[in-house]
Amino acid sequence: MDAGFFRGTSAEQDNRFSNKQKKLLKQLKFAECLEKKVDMSKVNLEVIKPWITKRVTEILGFEDDVVIEFIFNQLEVKNPDSKMMQINLTGFLNGKNAREFMGELWPLLLSAQENIAGIPSAFLELKKEEIKQRQIEQEKLASMKKQDEDKDKRDKEEKESSREKRERSRSPRRTKSRSPSPAPEKKEKTPELPEPSVKVKEPSVQEATSTRQ
C-alpha cells in the first residue's frame, strides 16, 4: 500500500479532486444569492445554528450530528465559499436538497451581516410576531379569568339572595289588622238669605243747594 495514503493526499489526488470540483461547478446549478460574499465576523452564528439543525433534520428525516457539525465547521471561516459548500453538501443531501438548503441559508447570512446584532431580519420579524401572539394569548387568558371571576361573583350574589328569601319564608312577619276609619260627617249646608234690595235715594242737586243756603 502506498505510504502516501497515510501521510496525506498526493499531488495527483489533489489534481483529480480539483478537476472534479471544477466539473461540478460547471454542472451544478447555484442560486443567484450565492454570488454574494458573507463576512461571518458580522454574523451571529449561534442564533442561526438552531435553524440549520431543524432544516437539515427536515431534509434527511432524522437528526444527523455529523452533517450538522460539518455545516457548522464550514461557516467558522471569515468568508466561506458558498458554491464549494453546496458541492460538499451534495454528497449528504443530494444535488436538489443541497441547492435548496443553500438557497435558504445564504440569504439569512446576507441579512444577518447587515444587522447590528448579526441576526437575520426574518428571525427578528418572527420573534416580534411570537411576542405579539404571546401578548394576545395573555390578554385572552386575562379576559377569561375576569369573566370567571364575574360569574363567580354573580353566583355568590344569587346564592346569598336565595338564602335570604328562604330565611324570610321560614319566619313570616305578622301584619296588624287595621280597623276601618269612620266616614267623615257630612255638614249640612245652610241656605243663604238673599240680600235686601233697598235703594237709597241720592239727593238731587237743588236740594243740596238749598241746604247750603
The whole-chain average pLDDT of the chain stands at 79
- Count other C-beta atoms under 10 Å from residue 80's C-beta: 17
> How confident is the model at residue 7, as a pLDDT?
44
Per-residue pLDDT, averaged over 171-191, amounts to: 59
Q: Which parts of the chain fold into alpha helices (H)? A: 4-7, 11-27, 45-60, 65-74, 82-93, 95-114, 121-170, 205-212
User: What fold characterizes domain 20-119?
Assistant: PWI domain (1.20.1390)
Lowest mean pLDDT across 47-51, 92-96, 140-144, 183-187 = 183-187
The 10s digit of each residue's pLDDT in 34-69 is: 999 999 999 999 999 999 999 999 999 999 999 999
Q: ∠ CA 87-90-93 to the nearest 5 degrees?
A: 150
> How confident is the model at residue 133, as a pLDDT?
81
Three-state secondary structure of 55-73? HHHHHHCCCCHHHHHHHHH
Contacts of 149 (CB under 8 A, 6+ apart): none
| Residue 108 burial (10 A CB sphere; 0-12, 13-18, 19+) | buried
> What cell numbers appear for 177 in the block?
289588622
> How confident is the model at residue 137, as a pLDDT?
84
pTM of the predicted model as reported, rounded to 2 decimal places: 0.56
Measured over the CA atoms of residue 138, residue 143, residue 149 and residue 152, the dihedral's sign is negative
Q: Regarding predicted confidence, which is higher, 35 or 5? A: 35
Q: ∠ CA 115-83-6 to the nearest 5 degrees?
A: 120
- With cell 441547492, the residue in question is 99
> How confident is the model at residue 59, as a pLDDT?
95
Contacts of 76 (CB under 8 A, 6+ apart): 40, 45
Rounded CA gap, 92 and 64, in Å?
10
